[in-house]
Amino acid sequence: MSRRASLGLASVLAAPLLALACAGSPAHADIIYGLNSNGTQGIYEIDTNTGATTLVAATPSLAAADSAGNALAYDAANNAFYYVRRTGTTNYFMRNAGGVETTLGALGATQPIFSGTFYNGHYWAVRNGAANTALRLTPTATGFTPALLAIGLPINSNFGDIASTDAGLTYASCTSGFFSFDLNTPGSPATAISLAPSTDQIAFGNSGLFAIQGSDIYSVDLATGAKTFTASTVADLSFNDLASVPTPGTLALLGLAGLGARRRR
């Protein structure tokens, strides 16, 4: 094969990977989900680069609740959202698939639940004032199986939010600071990244962790907890909680693309 033909073939093979790399770079948008409590209640897709929002699922049950829903999490494998609806002192575990809400049952815990994440087939939530334990709920078709596990966060913390990577490393934004802990070893001590109090809503996009405070969106430095402003939401929305949008397939391809570039050098 001639050198020109070889270069042409290499360009063709590299184009899809280059497109993926560009799509995952900080210059392009990450998408996260948010549970809105102001105006048109529902779950919205949020563009972290522009602040644009799109309604993806209605949440009619929250209009009748004493307080708006919270502790949003997204199960990508089943394209389902989970959250907690609070009426009086009772927390109800909710599933929303295709815009259809299902009440999976009441939770025994009476403390407010303002943080949630989904990992390894389980929904995880941390209760305000009981942050050294996590509720692990395994959803079924019509209900759930509960478990209570130690996670090592400061017990008096209020939230805020939690967000997990695809590997189970979980970050917590709470009144005691910004922490990380591993859901694969839930009893191990949490790592304090920053002791500055925080009640941001947080979620992972394709390129990293994002936070929302009010209408402002920030990227978050995982090593320090420092935030960098990226955009503001363009609609009059107020997000009680965020959910991550995992994209492990894209990240794996980007790793292969980087390996090829290093080999060429």
Specify the 3-state DSSP secondary structure of 22. helix
State how far the Cα of 36 lies from the Cα of 56, in Å rounded to an integer: 11
Specify the pLDDT at position 264.
Answer: 32
> Which residues are registered as beta bridge partners of 55?
44
State how far the Cα of 196 lies from the Cα of 192, in Å rounded to an integer: 10
pLDDT in tens, 22-55: 433 444 579 999 999 776 789 999 999 999 999 9
Q: What is the mean pLDDT of the chain?
A: 83
With 50 as the cut, is the pLDDT of residue 146 above it? yes
With 50 as the cut, is the pLDDT of residue 256 above it? no
pLDDT band of residue 247 (cuts 50, 70, 90) is low
State how far the Cα of 176 lies from the Cα of 192, in Å rounded to an integer: 9
